[in-house]
Amino acid sequence: MQACVLTKTGLRFNADYPSPVPQDGMVPVRVITAGVCETDLQLIKGYMGFQGVLGHEFVGVAEGGPFAGQRVVGEINCACHACDLCRDGMENHCPNRTVIGILNHDGAFAETVVVPHENLHLVPDNVSDDEAVFTEPLAAAFQIPAQLNLDAFDRAIVLGDGRLGNLCAQVISHAGCHVTVVGKHAAKLAVLDELGINTAHLSDLVIDRTADLVVDCTGSPTGLETACRLVRPRGTIVLKTTVAGDTGPALAPVVIDEITVVGSRCGPFDVALKALKQGDVHVAPLISARFPLKEIDKAINAARTAPNLKVLLDISSS
């Protein structure tokens, strides 16, 4: 099959990569469209030391299981369902898990990806393929209200005007919290302005430390330090991105100002799909470019280039 494979020498298109052989409980999914994520860019830089087929944001058609022949999206954490954490309902933190396109599990930049049947979710009929690709990152954004009661916060700042920052801002705004997105890219901030989200350029930002909540979506080693400069004492910082390499942020402000720091990762797919179905979140304005799978180099370069937000890979027809 066609696939984009990450090795020690880089990411390459392979026209004859071995098709996956589904194990018990696994369903082959014919990938229609996949999205390039910041995590993919970090993996290419060496994050997690992953080698194999990249890609974890996708929509496809199940080729087996209870959803055979229907459009599906898939949660990326593939748990053992036997350990203490799994029994406690924390499958996303299973120490034995594989993670699609990230950890010991070939991903969706390929014609076929295999997914545990329990990880699959049906895509509503009124949600397009392009919209469905956003389910995974949108679910990650919805993990914030799953972890925190947003009614307790009056003013929020989202650091980062990229793909995830945009989605987090929409989710926080929809929950009724006043939110401002701080970024460096005028074109990306303009997309948020069109969605009715308040924005500010980082160079123009007044450091007044009045934010109850700061969400770091920068993917930058300095993101946490910037968040500490913006959040009020006893405020809350949510970390939504990871960075390849050692970051070593100065954590003294966390102690001195008694700041609560919350790590936040994967989230509820059912909530994300419902939001897409109801039109509560708008993802189409984020799509900046699309490429066939064989043009993966162009796709990655586009994903790295401002003002692009979401780059899609077209893999097969629906």
Residue 272 domain-assigned? no
Q: Let me know whether 128 and 182 are in one domain.
A: no
Residue 278 domain-assigned? no
How far is CA 271 from each of CA 35, 103, 133, 267, rounded to the nearest angstrom? 19, 25, 15, 9
What gap in Å lies between CA 187 and CA 299, rounded to an integer? 19
Q: Let me know whether 88 and 152 are in one domain.
A: no
Q: Let me know whether 208 and 105 are in one domain.
A: no
Q: Let me know whether 10 and 114 are in one domain.
A: yes
* Confidence (pLDDT) at 243: 75
Q: Let me know whether 215 and 251 are in one domain.
A: yes
pLDDT tens, residue order, the chain (318 aa): 999 999 999 999 999 999 999 999 999 999 999 999 999 999 999 989 999 999 999 999 999 999 999 999 999 999 999 999 999 999 999 999 999 999 999 999 999 999 999 999 999 999 999 999 999 999 999 999 999 999 999 999 999 999 999 999 999 999 999 999 999 999 999 999 999 999 999 999 888 899 999 999 998 888 999 999 999 999 999 999 877 666 567 788 899 999 999 999 999 999 999 999 999 999 999 999 999 999 999 999 999 998 999 999 999 976
* Confidence (pLDDT) at 246: 66
As given in the structure block, the two tokens for residue 233 are 């004492």
Closest residue by Cα to residue 185 from 168, 173, 202? 202
Q: Let me know whether 167 and 99 are in one domain.
A: no
What gap in Å lies between CA 143 and CA 148, rounded to an integer? 9
* Confidence (pLDDT) at 244: 67
What gap in Å lies between CA 125 and CA 90, rounded to an integer? 30
Q: Let me know whether 26 and 91 are in one domain.
A: yes
As given in the structure block, the two tokens for residue 211 are 């934010």
Domain coverage including residue 58: 3-134+283-314
What gap in Å lies between CA 189 and CA 241, rounded to an integer? 19
How far is CA 157 from each of CA 59, 204, 215, rounded to the nearest angstrom? 31, 14, 6
Q: Let me know whether 216 and 129 are in one domain.
A: no
**Dihedral of alpha carbons 41, 46, 47, 50, sign:** positive
Residue 307 domain-assigned? yes
Q: Let me know whether 305 and 195 are in one domain.
A: no
Quickly tell me which residue has 């999206």 as its tokens. Answer: 73
Residue 268 domain-assigned? no
Residue 99 domain-assigned? yes
Residue 277 domain-assigned? no
Long-range contacts of 174-179, Cβ-Cβ distance < 8 Å, separation of 24 or more: 174/275, 174/280, 174/281, 175/145, 175/150, 175/151, 176/150, 176/151, 177/150, 177/153, 177/213, 178/154, 179/155
Q: Let me know whether 287 and 248 are in one domain.
A: no
DSSP state of 157: E
What gap in Å lies between CA 219 and CA 239, rounded to an integer? 9
Residue 273 domain-assigned? no
Instruction: Check: CB of residue 167 under 8 Å from CB of residue 142.
Output: no
Residue 116 domain-assigned? yes
Instruction: Give the global pTM.
Output: 0.95
What gap in Å lies between CA 254 and CA 91, rounded to an integer? 29
- Looking at residue 89, which CATH number applies to its domain? 3.90.180.10
How many distinct structural domains can be found in the chain? 2
- Looking at residue 178, which CATH number applies to its domain? 3.40.50.720
Q: At what angle do helices 269-278 and 135-147 cross, to 10 degrees?
A: 110
